[in-house]
Amino acid sequence: MRWISFLAKLAFICNACFLFCFLLRYSNLELNEEVISIIIILGWVMSLAVNVFSMIASFIGMSKGTYAKAEVPGWVLIFNIAMMIFEIVYLVLNPDML
């Protein structure tokens, strides 16, 4: 079940990029454009999809009983769930983003 652990960590990285994009949107920071473009792709584009796929894989692993072998810390799962709720509210339900 190493792939569940990989997905959880990838979702954590994408969620951190989402938070950075959220803060960057409301600040006046000027950074390297190449780095910003990678962070924007990971944050705005991939974060919700990777997070949903990670949650589905985690809950399937929990239902089959193989999640314990994945060695994913509980705080990562809680952070990913909280960020998924925030991303859905901010990206999907926000009319300004459409």
> Mean pLDDT throughout 4-16?
91
What are the structural domain ranges in the chain? 2-97
For 28-87, write each residue's pLDDT tens digit.
777 888 888 888 888 888 998 999 999 998 888 888 877 666 678 889 989 999 999 998
Cα-based torsion angle of the residue sequence 53, 37, 95, 11 in order, rounded to the nearest 10 degrees: 20
The number of angstroms, rounded, from the C-alpha of 38 to the middle of its chain's C-alpha atoms is: 14
Question: In this model, does residue 18 exceed pLDDT 60?
Answer: yes
Please tell me the pTM assigned to this model: 0.85
